[in-house]
Amino acid sequence: MRLNRRFASESVHNRRWALLGLRIVMFCGAVAAVPPLAFAATRENVNAGRISPHNTHTANDWPQFRGPGGDGISLATNIPLTWSSNQNVKWKSSVPGLGRSSPVILGDRIWLTTALTTNVRTFAAGPDRMQQAERVVIGVVCLDRATGKQLYHKELFPVDNPPAVNFLNSYATPTPVVEPGRLYCDFGTFGTTCLDSNSGEVLWKRELPLQHFQGPGSSPALFKNLLILVRDGGDQQYVTALDKETGNTVWKSDRPQFKTPVPIFRKSFSTPLIFEAAGKVQMVVPGAQWFVSYDPSAGNEIWRIDNGKGETVAPRPVYGAGLVYLSTGVFSGKPQLWAIRTDGQGDVTESHVAWKLPSAIGFMASPLLLDRVLYLLSDESFVTCVDAASGEILGKVRIGGNYAASPVYAEGRIYCFSREGKTTVLRADKELTVLAENQLEGTVFASPAFVHSAIYVRTDSHLYCLSSEAPTAAN
């Protein structure tokens, strides 16, 4: 997600403050499908190195933030190219409360986290707007994928006088992760839980409190028998793994030492990316000042890179062909994209940075990597095409709007969802030809899910199922 404001007359300190905590990582007609181009993703190369929650990549599931591989690449087919509020909407279902997490989908069910708030007040904190509820009840909603009908709404964590969150954030922003029979929800300092995904029964709960400053944002990840959580707060910074059967702590790794003594500049909202590279499974977790690769089985550090001034990192990394691509987050007021070789050991700051791009990446939207080409969505609404090996810019187009959701690739196209409800569909090549512009009612912060032949778009009040199939009865 992003903050589309400029404070040209303010100090770098205030610019950083304005962008803290906004990971609110968080977002069909008869037109013929556009064929993937030669250097765009194919079914053979999009899966290389990725590790999904249950080690399969299908067009019928969206089990975690950014899909099966955690990288925004969908293998779904017959995805709609055009829609509106009354065209190619299979169903539209009201979602109680407010949450800016993405929907996760497995089989015939959809899950979304949400928060019911009472007596919310807004106030200014520096140049930023905050919101604080008198009471919040955080929970999860389960819907039927075919009809949008609500199957259950489970209230999980009631909290009186919760800490304030940024007005672009919510109390239910981290995206859950699902596997057969189990749903794992993490709400940062407010609690972590595992549910029976079919019934909504709570199987275990944990609380690992920390100081977010502007609300939670890091989404959990699954690896074998472990649930991986990132706790990058102002008061403490660590990565931990819980036994997914019991919720007990298996390992905990503190982050490297920081240069800054200011707690608010130590926080981040990143989500781990797990992949196989250099003969081993690695889990890369960017954070303030440091990019770190861990062994997800035991939490041991493999390598680290000191990026110097980065903080408040939101985008999830992407990996391919021996390079992992990471955002620095707020970096002297502007994020950078770094390409890192993954075959290092220890501190590899001086030896393993392949290239840096000082612009083009946004504060919140994660990048797309399609074979040898990166696609970046910036705060200024530019989509930039970059050679993944060299960092050379190959093409750029401005599509307008404000962006929070990360882009998604499907069938040779790139889908970019603006906060204003407009989706711009581009051809996945260096010309970045605009194929369609589609408008929905509502505000879009969450990254959508692409499953089977449909797109599931969450607004602040509804979940849309967009499909060229005949619509069902309105919900």
Rounded-to-integer distance, Cα 51 and Cα 30, Å: 35
> Cβ(403)–Cβ(396) under 8 Å?
no
Per-residue model confidence (pLDDT) at position 327: 94
pLDDT of residue 334: 84
d(CA 341, CA 294): 14
pLDDT the model gives residue 49: 66
CA nearest to 230, candidates 287, 274, 179? 287
Q: What does pTM read for this prediction?
A: 0.89
Residues of the chain with pLDDT under 70: 1-58, 331-332, 470-475
Q: CB of 304 within 8 A of CB of 296? A: no
Half-sphere CA count of 77, side-chain side, radius 13 A: 5
Pick from 274, 290, 390, 281: which is nearest to 346 by CA? 290
Paired tokens of 287:
């954070």
Instruction: Look at residue 31 in the predicted model and tell me its pLDDT.
Output: 32
Return the pLDDT at 45: 46
The domains found in the chain, sorted by start residue, are: 12-466 (2.130.10.10)
d(CA 375, CA 382): 10
DSSP secondary structure, 65-89, as one string: TTTTTTSSB----S--S--BTTBSE
Which residue do the tokens 């711009």 mark? 424
Residue 305 · residue 313 · CB < 8 Å = no
Q: Tokens 């007040």: give the residue.
A: 121
